[in-house]
Structure formats: C-alpha cells, structure tokens
C-alpha cells in the first residue's frame, strides 16, 4: 500500500492510511460523513469501545493509533487488530445489532469520530461509493482472518511471526518503493497474542530478522528495508522446513 492519503476535512488536509475506508471515499461522501459525526480527543490508553457495550455507534480514527483487543477468561489481553487513521471500527454491531465483540484502546493520543448506527446505515443506502468501500473493508478483514487461521494450522510459531511482520510491512509500504515504515508497531506480546504463541518465540524471531538485516529499529518505528527480501526469506524458510 502507498503512503497515507491527504484528504480535505474541516478545511484541513488530514492523512489517512491508504486502503482505509475514509481514504476510499469520494469527497462529497467524506463531507456528508463529517457533517454527521461527533469528534473528540482520546489520550493514550483511553478505552474508546468496551466489549459487550450495548451502544451501536460506528467510529472513525482520524489521527493517532489504536488497537482492538479482547480479554480471555483468565484476564489475559489479546490484541488482534491495529487501527490507523482512516480506519473504521464498530461497524459489525451497527450492521447486525449484536453486542460489541471487542474493546478498542488508544495506543497514542488520538482524535476519533463517531456516528449513530442509523446515520451509518443511511449513508450505506444513499451513497454507492460508501457502501462499496465498506464491502471492500469487510472482505479485507475476512481475507485477513482466513490467512491467519491458515497460518496457525500450517506454519510454525516463528514462521507465523515473520508472516505477521510481512503483513505489517505490506500495509505500511512507502509509496511505490520496496521499503516500509511501521510507525506504531505492535509489541512482541501483542504479536504473540495475534498468533497464539508466546512473547519469547516472537522475540527470538524478531532478533533473527534484525541480525539478518531484514528489519531495523528507528526510534519507535520498525523499518523493513526490502519487502521483497523479507518475502524471499519467508519463502526459503518454508521450503527448508518441508524439505523441498
């Protein structure tokens, strides 16, 4: 995917992640959405949505980063989805009227906006570009879940960790280059939660990739110098593990 897309909002240029719902909207639909939502600031660590909450509003992340997370019966937090500017969340409950399936927590200081489920469904009915963008987002989420389920059944834990870094790199590609900058990467513990493994396994695989030059750190960001090289490393490892 390309670098964040600059769009006009409230007379200002706001940068949305390429491939996010807001980045795909035509300007009239973005303007119509902006007239209906309520925006506010959320400090780092704020609970934006609580699992099982009965409200059905749909949310849009405008700035910052957030994560969708669930808690197991023994209280362990499992973060499973990172959210970037332009992403929407809470749309499942607006569509099927079921309770929230996860919580959303601000990973940085954020600005987020929300609209009622009724206003959301009106936009889906009235604006074809909005409904098609929503379809693309839902398909992408389904594909992502299918890939992860396949990985869990077919790959070792270190291989799953490498594949997760590759997914993040592809989602944060710098323009049309082969490089990626993951500005707010998930922690090793969060990646372990995504992949049904432990932090130590993720740490070892990240260490291997760092030593091989496949990734590097720049401040809080994670840099992938060559997405192609990372893809080739993962393919070679898979071939070696099967004895091909």
Digit-coded pLDDT (tens) for 194-230: 787 889 999 999 999 999 999 999 998 999 999 999 9
Same domain, 127 and 176: no
Same domain, 21 and 122: yes
Q: Which pLDDT value is given to residue 6?
A: 57
Judge whether 150 lies within some domain.
Answer: no
Digit-coded pLDDT (tens) for 88-103: 999 999 999 888 888 8
User: How far does Cα 104 stand from its chain's mean position?
Assistant: 12
Based on the structure, what is the number of domains in the chain?
2
pLDDT category at 4 given cuts 50, 70, 90 is low
Same domain, 141 and 164: no
pTM assigned to the model: 0.74
Q: The domain that contains 32 carries what CATH number?
A: 2.60.120.10
User: Percentage of residues in the chain with pLDDT exceeding 90?
Assistant: 46
**Range of 176's domain?**
155-242
**Of the candidates 118, 145, 172, which is a domain's last residue?**
145
The closest of 201, 190, 189 to 160, measured between CA atoms, is: 201
Judge whether 215 lies within some domain.
Answer: yes
Beta strands in 10-93 (DSSP E): 12-16, 38-42, 47-49, 58-63, 66-71, 77-83, 88-89
Q: Which of 63-67, 73-77, 83-87 has the lowest mean pLDDT?
A: 73-77
Query: Mean pLDDT across the stretch 143-171?
Result: 86
**Of the candidates 127, 145, 163, which is a domain's last residue?**
145
Same domain, 205 and 237: yes
pLDDT of 243 over the 60 cut: no
Same domain, 24 and 138: yes
């Amino acid at each position: 995917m390309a670098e964040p897309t600059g769009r006009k909002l409230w007379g200002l240029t706001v940068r949305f992640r390429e491939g996010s719902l807001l980045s795909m909207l035509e300007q009239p639909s973005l303007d119509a959405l902006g007239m209906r939502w309520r925006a506010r600031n959320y400090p780092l660590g704020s609970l934006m949505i609580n699992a099982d909450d009965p409200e059905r509003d749909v949310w849009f992340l405008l700035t910052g980063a957030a994560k969708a997370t669930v808690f197991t019966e023994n209280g362990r937090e499992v973060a499973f989805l990172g959210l970037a500017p332009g992403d929407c969340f809470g749309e499942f409950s607006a569509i099927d009227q079921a309770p929230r399936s996860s919580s959303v927590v601000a990973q940085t200081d954020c600005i987020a906006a929300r609209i009622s489920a009724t206003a959301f469904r009106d936009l889906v009915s009235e604006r074809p570009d909005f409904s098609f963008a929503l379809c693309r987002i839902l398909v992408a989420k389904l594909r992502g879940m299918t890939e992860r389920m396949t990985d869990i059944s077919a790959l070792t834990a270190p291989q799953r960790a490498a594949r997760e870094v590759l997914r993040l790199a592809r989602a944060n590609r710098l323009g049309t280059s082969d490089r990626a900058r993951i500005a707010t990467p998930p922690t090793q513990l969060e990646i372990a939660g995504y992949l049904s493994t432990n932090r130590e396994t993720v740490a070892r695989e990240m260490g291997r990739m760092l030593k091989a030059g496949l990734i590097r750190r720049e401040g809080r960001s994670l840099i992938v110098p060559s997405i192609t090289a990372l893809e080739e490393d993962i393919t070679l490892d898979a071939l070696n593990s099967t004895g091909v």
